[in-house]
Structure 1
């Protein structure tokens, strides 16, 4: 088995449970031997492997296989033919757009989770971070703290991950909106792929929990699921409100390859790729739009809203999920 296959779900520590549930389901059910092979943004790993995947397999009779990583990194693997999922879930629609029209022509948005700054409760900076979280110190204090010598900050790579892009853009917006020194952007973040603070999305919060970092970029849902203390950011800079899309778009970032990206709301978007095991793939997306899936997202700290369908050829079973 290749290393890329081994990496599919190992980081959660729950993949054996998920795959075991899938095997039990397909072994006891005769309805189908199809599998929902899901490539998803790394921030969905805890939810997909611990809750959604096993529950879907148990209730549907289909198999489930998951792989979590940065959304843009997954797109590159899909385009290169290195992986062949039949479901793709990203944070923000930009990664899905890179798969159109050859792989898909539609997607559905159904949940959102803003960017927060999670922190280790045992770090020496925790008392100050807690005061910022509680509002007894101004949010502007957070950014001077992040810029402090010796402060260990973690984030993901903007070149491969929407969370990495949003965190970078969040700092830029905060500096502008709060009239902070422009030098803070470079001081806090350094180079785009700064090796001192850039880690994979599936390992970032584990490093924070282990005490290797003082604070890290996170989605609010991740912090809630991991029981990590966090600092909520104002809606104007947290990329969590679809109604503020125009404001978020004012944030601009140039990637290493020269591509220019703008801030977008951090929505969970899902689509089906190709025709392999299409019934299982459709069923997985449909499951997340129905009551059991929606409740799981809410419990995990996401804001769930009425599904928004974009594009052509949305499967009828998915569009009529309610």
Structure 2
């Protein structure tokens, strides 16, 4: 019995004392818009770890959902990347908890209509206008919640404009139904997977998603164009401010911008909103370099 207890203790001790691959202080927690899952988890995160020796830990969800979790003190992070400047504004100021004091616009990605090439509606997307296909009986459409994700709000906005442009007053009702239609509204981080697995025939995605994952997609008319405007910031209560600065420096560096371009993101000249004096000097320096 004693031998068995000793053996069990050794096993348990081995589990408890096993050293993690990275020290906790070297972990950078990045909260980011769900449309960037592939980019962050397969490209930026690993490249950041290789370049700095620090550990990337990502959390993906709709930008508004993340902001609500930050406000409600349900989630903490070091860096926050959203798909809309409005989300950052909702976290700025004393009334909003002063979670964000500055942010940087660094990239954009247009909203597209993506479809599954194996869908029975795929051929129609090649021969008909996209809004006509979305009205066909039986088509399964996926989108995100307009209350939790900017992409969901952009989708409703774009379809409302399309109804006017194409003189179809009931277009929104025929294609989307209610704003929070449970048959269509899905978490942003699962939408691509649902389309690829055949659970959806079509959906609304940013170009970074369709380009990155080779999803056939159609770009709406210029009059209807909506796009993500990606922003990043270091949260005011970031537990690892040094690591957060290092991550932002990397993402805005020449190597980081190259990775963004490779994943179908339109890199733009960085612009700062908010209290510039609150920014780490290294971040200010890399922004100045990127702007040249």
TM-score scaled by length of structure 1? 0.78
Verify: 1:149 aligned to 2:137, yes or no.
yes
- Pick from 39, 48, 52 the counterpart of residue 47 of structure 1: 39
Q: 1:282 and 2:266 equivalent?
A: no
1:306 matched to 2:280: no
Do the aligned partners of residues 275 and 228 (structure 1) sit closer, same or farther apart at CA in structure 2, a change above 3 Å counting?
Answer: closer
State the partner residue of 2:25.
Answer: 33
Other structure's SS at 1:114 match? strand
Describe the superposition over 1:102-121 as per-residue Cα deviations: whole angstroms up to 9, x where unpaired.
11210001110000000000
Partner SS state of residue 320, structure 1: helix
The equivalent of 1:84 in structure 2 is: 76
Deviation for aligned residue 1:236: 2.6
Bigger Cα Rg: 2
Shift of 1:166: 0.5
- 1:275 Cα deviation from its structure 2 partner: 4.0
Superposed displacement of residue 235, structure 1: 3.0
Q: Does residue 69 of the first structure (1) align with residue 57 of the second (2)? A: no
Aligned to 2:168: 181
Partner of 1:320: 285
| Correspondence 1:225 to 2:212 | yes
1:269 aligns with 2:236: no
Q: Is the 8 A contact 2:32 2:59 kept in 1?
A: yes
Offset at 1:238?
Answer: 2.1
Superposition deviation, residue 286 in structure 1: 1.5
- Deviation of the 1:212 alpha carbon: 1.0
In structure 2, the residue corresponding to 1:111 is in which secondary structure?
strand
Q: Given that residues 71 and 91 in structure 1 are in contact (C-alpha distance below 8 angstroms), is that contact kept between their aligned partners in structure 2?
A: yes
- CA root-mean-square deviation: 1.5
Matched with 2:221 is 234
Q: Is the 8 A contact 1:43 1:201 kept in 2?
A: yes
Deviations 1:23-63 (A, max 9, x none): 65x47xxxx93321111000011100001011111111222
Query: 1:213: how far off?
Result: 1.0
Would you identify which runs of 4 or more consecutive aligned residues in structure 1 move more than 4 Å? Answer: none
| Equivalent residues of 2:107, 2:267 under 8 A apart | yes
1:169 aligns with 2:157: yes
Select 2:256's aligned residue among 273, 277, 293. Answer: 293
**Cα deviations across residues 135-167 of structure 1 (Å, max 9, x unaligned)?**
xx4xxx211221222111110010100000001
Deviation string, structure 1 residues 55-83 (Cα, Å, up to 9, x no partner): 11111122211000011111111111111
Paired with 2:182 and 2:137, the residues of 1 have a C-alpha distance of 16
Contact 2:28 2:78 in 1 (8 A): yes
Quote the Cα distance in structure 2 between the aligned partners of 1:185 and 1:213. 18
Which consecutive unaligned segments of at least 5 residues does structure 2 have? 1-19
The answer to whether the 8 A contact 1:155-1:197 is kept is: yes
The alpha carbon displacement at 1:233 in A equals 1.7
User: 1 CA distance for matches of 2:283 and 2:176?
Assistant: 40
CA distance in structure 2 between the aligned counterparts of 1:96 and 1:205, rounded to whole angstroms: 25
